Structure 1
Amino acid sequence: MARTLDPRIEQAKKLYDAGEKLIDIADQLGVPEGTIRSWKKRYWGNATLQKKECNVAKEKKLSKRAEQETIKQESEYLDETAELSEKQRLFCMYYIRSFSATKAYQKAYRCSYDVANAEGYKLLVKPCIKKAIQQLKQNRLNRELLDEHDIFQKYIDIAFADLTDYVEFGVEETPVMGLYGPIKVKDPNTGKKVTLTQKENVVRFKSSSEIDGTLLAEVKKGKNGDSIKLADRMKALDWLANHMDLATEEQRARIEQIKAQTHRLTRDDEEQEETVDDGFLKALEGTAAEDWADEEES
């Protein structure tokens, strides 16, 4: 005759699933904690693990299904007359998610990384592929009720944001504070007592009413001081590089102007550094010559 399981085993399992600790379950059911551990191991420990694994698998399946549904919806916006194979369509739709031709090719064609790295760019430069990608980009903008030129301008603002638009910093004379306030010292010239001062680095945030807060990623007040963080410039630059087709002529001209200014400043810094080095070397040579002459005279 089969042995009937203790009904408290099922009660213990329900309490455990509800988040109760083993020792608390033991107290509630009036059994030793070791018995609860034994029940967990023998009867429902594996079931809990299997349930968790099942939930993870289910979540992955739902996530994959949602991605496939999104791809299917976006595929409907592609021009039906476009002469694209199913894999080429997939490539275009994966590309607008990552803007990586290698990743998009690898997912669409299910091939090795080396093959995708070699073939992805070749596919990307085909006119029909470019047209399809442009359609998908425009569709995404339309769905989000955004104007492409406004978005492009926002990324320009992020990529070339100037920190001095948000903070003021410099060196100031500040009073040296003692236990009872500013420290006074005697002026050797006048004999009068004056406040002792020191040079101090000062940083001040500008008022939120004076700045564009959408370009900030973080403003923090911590135990080590206040800090401000701009939105990620590198990501913005990558986005601009992948969306130059959305730029107006004025925006293209501005980017070229900023590039030229950056190049000129970098070149000037290099020339200045080289000039300083040359001056230092000449001065060093002159000093060495004088030292040599002094040594000969002596």
Structure 2
Amino acid sequence: MPRAPNEKAETAKQMYLEGQKMVDIAAALDIPEGTIRSWKNRYKWNATLQKDNRNVAKKCGAPVGNKNAAGGPPGNKKAEKFGFFSKYLPPETKEIFDAVQDADPIDLLWHQIQIQYAAIVRAQRIMYVEDQEDSTKVTSMESAGSEAYMVQMAWDKQASFLQAQSRAMKTLQGLFKQYDELLKSDLATEEQKARIDRLRAEIAKVEAENKERAGGEQPGDDGFLEALNGSAVEDWADED
């Protein structure tokens, strides 16, 4: 019984006959270049290529209406996928690129919202200023047995925190608006529409719990959760 043809070898041969370099073929198929070279010699790809070239040379021109020279159909990404990105993108980046190639734009934007929201919440812990005595002393230079220090006072840290938080909130609010616009499309699913409402409900719940624990506005909160909910964006924007 004859062996089944190697699908990757057939794909590699087709790419080679289309004029792609072996290094690009190896990167696209995630196969060592030496394997590609071995296939080329074993299966005599050059003989096939020379035969095709002779057949082309015998032709006196394409018949009327022939569209072989017109290139691929609009939107064809073959050269881009196997050529440019295989050559210049790092392997890890290309793997991510391939994974999101067919992803829904609405889902991609939702992931951006989640990442931005998580970064803002995490910053609350990292940049939190406890009180006006909360200063930070950092060694800025050491030489010949002496040290120089830089001291960040509470008001400096709080001012930096507010500016960074304000910029982050503007970015998040912009993502919210883009997401709302995409939801107007007929292609948006009910799940995609419900996500944003669930996030806003979660924000409101956390805000209520924080105020209940603190007996009012939580120290260091500065209307953060209200701004996330879209009701205090103007107040945050005025702080820049």
Larger relative contact order, structure 1 or 2 (CA cutoff 8 Å, min sep 6): 2
Q: Which has the larger radius of gyration?
A: 1
Assess same fold via TM > 0.5. Answer: no
Q: TM-score, normalised by structure 2?
A: 0.26
Query: TM-score, normalization: structure 1?
Result: 0.22
Higher strand content, 1 or 2? 1
